[in-house]
Amino acid sequence: MSGEDHTNYQRPLFWAIILLGLVLFVKCEPALTTPETDTANTASKYKTSNVVIVVIDGPRFRETWGDPSKRHIPFFANELAAVGIHHNRFYNCGATYTTSGHAAITTGSYQWMANDGSEIPYYPSIFQLWLKESRMSSSKALVVTSKQKLGVLADCVSPALRGKFNPMVAVADREDRETLSTALELMKQFQPRITLIHFRGPDLYGHANEWSSYLQSIEETDNYSYQIWRFLQQDPFYKDVTTMMVTNDHGRHNNNVRDGFVSHGDFCEGCMHINFFATGPDFHSNLVINKPRQSVDIAPTIAELMGFKHQTFTGSVMWELIK
């Protein structure tokens, strides 16, 4: 150590800078400590025992909640809005494709994946993490989809969980009304605690360049979402202890981008801006929130409600939803 260094310790300015640094460090610490590092089992804090996530594949915000008339989502507008929360500025900030968009929701991490079902997510999903934590049988987590390729959501590359604690899956290329009835039957029979239900309609008819069918499928999935909510209100197992979230994997191009509503997959506003609606016993109701949020915030929020560990999530808990 040189003599010059030694004299530094005797200067008031030196100590003032050290003290200021300490004060700033202590002051900033709460902001630097993200909620997801709190991995204690917090399930008992909440009334939620079950979570149902509905993913409607690829409608645009502007034809759904972003339309002031909300003419294509009458059940959300007239029945569900009053009992839940809608985030007006919710985005998929990762790859705006179907498998990547779903993986962001279920793993809480963005990752670029093949969109043909040939690649499973790297990070573990809420299904695997929760089944591992709870030690319940695989039928207590369920994935029901209208696209077969979404079977990839059941597993992950991450060595600790690959091939383990996989949820029950009911995946097929089929009509959304069949997916709805399959989902409700499986929920009645197995009473899964975490369920994902996927509807393909808006994406299918968007790619087919069939505008009126695209709008009609938005209306159908609005109706199906309401039917799921009604089931949760009436079923003795789910009633009063179930949180329901409805979101999208991605939107579609804005009208001035490429082929407009027909396709998706880039970072245009239309592709990234999606919906997020949530209702449940621990959430506020009749509320619209404008704080920007992302797909990867869904998994940490579910983990907080269900009380399991989530070190691999990059999103954060949506505390603003919780009462």
Site residues for Zn ion per CB under 5 A: 57-58, 98, 203, 249, 253, 257, 266, 268, 271
**Which residue number, 253 or 310, has a Cβ lying nearer to Zn ion?**
253
Note whether 277 and 84 are within 8 A (CB).
Answer: yes
- Give the separation between CA 94 and CA 110, rounded to whole angstroms: 5
- Give the separation between CA 107 and CA 186, rounded to whole angstroms: 23
Q: Look up residue 187 and give its two tokens.
A: 């929920």
Residue 36, H or E segment: none
Which residues are 171's β-sheet partners? Answer: 145
- Give the separation between CA 211 and CA 31, rounded to whole angstroms: 46
**Which residue number, 140 or 273, has a Cβ lying nearer to Zn ion?**
273
Q: Is 195 exposed, middle or buried (0-12, 13-18, 19+ CB in 10 A)?
A: buried
Q: In angstroms, what is the minimal distance from the CB of 114 to Zn ion?
A: 14
**Which residue number, 98 or 146, has a Cβ lying nearer to Zn ion?**
98
**Which residue number, 172 or 257, has a Cβ lying nearer to Zn ion?**
257
Q: By C-alpha distance, which of 126, 108, 119, 200 is closest to 167?
A: 126
Note whether 272 and 295 are within 8 A (CB).
Answer: no
- Give the separation between CA 146 and CA 102, rounded to whole angstroms: 13
**Which residue number, 87 or 253, has a Cβ lying nearer to Zn ion?**
253
- Give the separation between CA 80 and CA 76, rounded to whole angstroms: 5
Q: What angle do CA 274, 36, 99 make, to 5 degrees?
A: 40
- Give the separation between CA 248 and CA 76, rounded to whole angstroms: 14
**Which residue number, 155 or 203, has a Cβ lying nearer to Zn ion?**
203
**Which residue number, 77 or 272, has a Cβ lying nearer to Zn ion?**
272
Which residues are 14's β-sheet partners? Answer: none
